[in-house]
């Protein structure tokens, strides 16, 4: 099971371009919100240069879903136990056991075909043959999931009432595939149609469930290898596998893993051009001075990544915010303008 990513606060940080794959050379990664979403959506669409057939998917998954510890086997999405004698719960299986019988594996549409609008077809080209959301899955487990919407749960994969929980090991994979599908097929594959959660403030089509899973279950080597192989086959990549933090920049929510180190230390004078925090460490009250005439907002997160306070700043050249009633501990003050995101670690004693 992939290790839970723990958020590490930096003293003073700003979003900048770090060590980023050349695939993103012509993408403006200084953007945030809907502008960044549109930029990435265009990138993964124009670079999707090869359309697979549904029959191609068998061969593709025999490459992308291999277990690096046993190249004769593929990982089975939703699987969790190879030793209990029950094929339905298998985590891996021989890559050649394909088909529709018990003990075989099949091609799972993680974004269920019937939940798309319109429903997906498996004729090429279509969302139904996009290998970025097709995974090897035990035939019976695939049938158990069916077209159930994803919902919150814990432990191993299985039904949660009328819904489906993908399992602790796979929930991050699922979230990142759902985000990819939304950007690649923005009117057909809405997150609200495939998962149960609360719509985020900035985008009624995205739900907090997928942002939470993306942050809690970090990217595995398997996902990264899969992304690399699929770029060679389809031409495009899943940006949220490359860096889960992109989801944070687009939709806010719990802070996700930043694989590109898009946050780095900057000069204090540059930071105070936008906002300043005093005192730090603080006791009863924290004073935040904002210096900007643009639309912006200040969000305060606790050490668990939970948003505890939010302030909207608009049309004022200078504003002082007095923040009280924060419990002792570490906080991340995130100040977002139209173009940049600044964050600062604050301590309350």
Under 8 Å between Cβ of 65 and 177: no
| Helical H segments across the chain, by residue range | 33-46, 56-64, 139-145, 171-184, 191-194, 208-216, 221-234, 239-242, 245-251, 268-272
Q: Supply the pTM of this predicted model.
A: 0.75
The SS3 assignment for 245 reads: helix
Q: Phi and psi dihedrals of 105, rounded to 5?
A: -120, 155
Give residue 16's pLDDT.
38
- Domain map (residue ranges) of the chain: 31-251, 268-348
Measured CA angle at 230 (ends 226, 236), to 5 deg: 125
122-140 pLDDT, tens per residue?
999 999 999 999 999 999 9
Q: Which residue has the higher pLDDT, 16 or 248?
A: 248
CATH fourth-level superfamily of 268-348:
Macroglobulin (MG2) domain (2.60.40.1930)
What's the pLDDT band for 340 if we cut at 50, 70, 90? low
Would you give the DSSP letter of residue 154?
-
For 249, what's the count of Cα atoms within 13 Å in the CB-facing half-sphere? 31
Is residue 253 classed as helix, strand or coil in its secondary structure? coil
pLDDT digits (tens, 9 = 90+) for 202-225: 999 999 999 999 999 999 999 999
Average pLDDT over residues 49-53: 97
In the predicted model, what is the mean pLDDT of the chain? 88
- Is residue 257 classed as helix, strand or coil in its secondary structure? coil
């Amino acid at each position: 099971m992939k290790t839970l990513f723990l958020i590490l606060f930096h003293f003073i940080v700003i979003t900048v371009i770090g060590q980023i794959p050349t695939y993103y050379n012509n993408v403006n990664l200084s953007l945030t919100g809907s502008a960044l979403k549109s930029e990435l959506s265009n990138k993964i669409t124009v670079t999707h240069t090869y359309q697979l057939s549904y029959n191609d998917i068998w061969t593709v998954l025999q490459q992308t879903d291999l277990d690096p510890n046993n190249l004769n086997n593929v990982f089975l999405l939703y699987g969790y136990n190879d030793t209990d004698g029950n094929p339905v719960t298998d985590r891996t299986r021989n890559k050649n056991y394909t088909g529709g019988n018990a003990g075989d594996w099949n091609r799972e549409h993680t974004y269920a075909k019937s939940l798309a609008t319109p429903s997906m077809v498996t004729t090429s080209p279509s969302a139904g043959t996009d290998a970025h959301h097709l995974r090897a899955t035990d035939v019976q487990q695939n049938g158990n999931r069916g077209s159930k919407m994803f919902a919150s749960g814990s432990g191993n994969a299985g039904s949660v009432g009328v819904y489906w929980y993908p399992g602790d090991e796979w929930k991050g994979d699922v979230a990142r595939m759902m985000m990819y599908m939304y950007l690649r097929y923005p009117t057909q594959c809405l997150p609200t149609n495939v998962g149960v959660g609360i719509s985020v403030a900035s985008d009624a089509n995205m739900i907090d469930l997928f942002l939470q899973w993306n942050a809690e279950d970090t990217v595995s080597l398997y996902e990264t290898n899969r992304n690399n192989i699929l770029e060679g086959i389809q031409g495009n990549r899943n940006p949220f596998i490359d860096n889960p933090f992109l989801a944070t920049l687009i939709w806010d929510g719990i802070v996700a893993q930043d694989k590109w180190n898009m946050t780095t230390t900057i000069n204090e004078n540059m930071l105070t051009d936008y906002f300043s925090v005093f005192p730090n460490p603080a006791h009863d009250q924290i004073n935040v001075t904002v210096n900007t005439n643009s639309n912006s907002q200040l969000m305060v997160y606790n050490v668990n990544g939970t948003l505890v306070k939010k302030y909207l700043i608009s049309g004022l050249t200078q504003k002082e915010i007095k923040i009280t009633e924060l419990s002792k501990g570490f906080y991340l003050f995130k100040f977002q303008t139209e173009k940049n995101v600044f964050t600062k670690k604050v301590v309350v004693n």
